[in-house]
Amino acid sequence: MHADFEYMGAACGLATLCVYGGSPYGPQEGALRRGTDVVVGTPGRVKDLLEKGSLKLDKVRHAFCSPQPSGMLIFYLTVGELCALVPLKAA
CA 73, 65, 18, 70 dihedral sign is positive
Structural domain for 21, as ranges: 2-84
Q: Is residue 40 part of a domain?
A: yes
Confidence bin at 76 (pLDDT 50/70/90): very low
- pLDDT at residue 75 tops 90: no
pLDDT value, residue 60:
75
58: domain CATH number is: 3.40.50.300
Number of domains within the chain? 1
Which ranges of the chain does DSSP label H, i.e. alpha helix?
2-12, 25-34, 43-52, 79-84
Q: What is the pLDDT of residues 13-57, one digit of tens each?
A: 878 888 888 999 999 999 999 988 888 888 788 889 988 999 988
Percent of the chain with pLDDT over 90: 20
